[in-house]
Amino acid sequence: MSELRQVADAVAVGTVGGKLKKFCEEAHAILAASPGSEGARRVKPLLEALVAAPDFVAEHCGPDAKPGLHLLYEDPDLGFQVLAHVNDKGRVSPPHNHGASWAIYAQAVGYTDMTEWACTPDPANPPRYEVKPATKYRVNPGEAGIYADGAVHSIDYQGGSRFVRVTGTNLDKIERTFFNPATGESRVVTP
Ligand SMILES: [Fe+2]
């Protein structure tokens, strides 16, 4: 794809410039050569550098950023997305996967407490699952958590926490599964 078209498409979905533009171009090159979770692992340090850059944070995650979810970039060829989560209020999500997509959560402001879960079919109570926390950690500014296709995690953050999420595709267009650790029930969200 020509660089001109790439830039034109990027501009169409938002303000892509400076370090964000460079990140999108580098992520495109990596993911074009190495699709899937392997490429995502190589994108992670670039994303950590992006959310550690004061000018990027000031523009997209600073005090004046509008609260909400903002699509910063969608790759016209590969479909990966870069989204800024500017959170006004705190939230604890249920355990969930990202279906057939990987995801990277990179902290810009505040922190996010992550839990990764082990979810296995409960042979005593089909179709329920045994949903157990496997590991917990805090993602601080300039750090990222990465989740391969099908991996289950949950997020817990306070008001003012701001992070950038990069996903392999538009998650609104694929099936994902949410789990209830108390009951073992799962809920599939379809596009
Ligand atoms: Fe997630």
Q: What is the domain-level CATH number for residue 92?
A: 2.60.120.10
Distance 103 CA to ligand 1 centre (A): 7
Spatial separation of the C-alpha atoms in residues 94 and 22, rounded to whole Å: 34
Distance 93 CA to ligand 1 centre (A): 8
Distance 115 CA to ligand 1 centre (A): 10
162-191: per-residue pLDDT in tens? 999 999 999 999 999 999 999 999 999 999
Distance 96 CA to ligand 1 centre (A): 6
pLDDT of residue 5: 43
- The pair of structure tokens assigned to 94 is 């249920």
Spatial separation of the C-alpha atoms in residues 166 and 111, rounded to whole Å: 17
Distance 181 CA to ligand 1 centre (A): 16
Contact 104, 44 (CB under 8 A): yes
The upper half-sphere exposure of residue 174, i.e. CA atoms within 13 Å in the direction of its Cβ, equals: 17
pLDDT of residue 16: 59
Spatial separation of the C-alpha atoms in residues 38 and 32, rounded to whole Å: 11
Distance 80 CA to ligand 1 centre (A): 15
- Average pLDDT per block of 10 residues along the chain, 191 residues long: 43 63 96 96 98 95 94 96 97 97 98 98 95 98 97 97 98 97 96 91
First to last CA, the chain: 28
107 burial via Cβ count (<10 Å: 0-12, 13-18, 19+) = buried
Describe the crossing of helices 18-33 and 37-51 by its angle, rounded to 10 degrees: 170
Spatial separation of the C-alpha atoms in residues 90 and 10, rounded to whole Å: 30
Spatial separation of the C-alpha atoms in residues 12 and 6, rounded to whole Å: 10
The parent domain of residue 8 ranges over 3-189
Domain count, the chain: 1
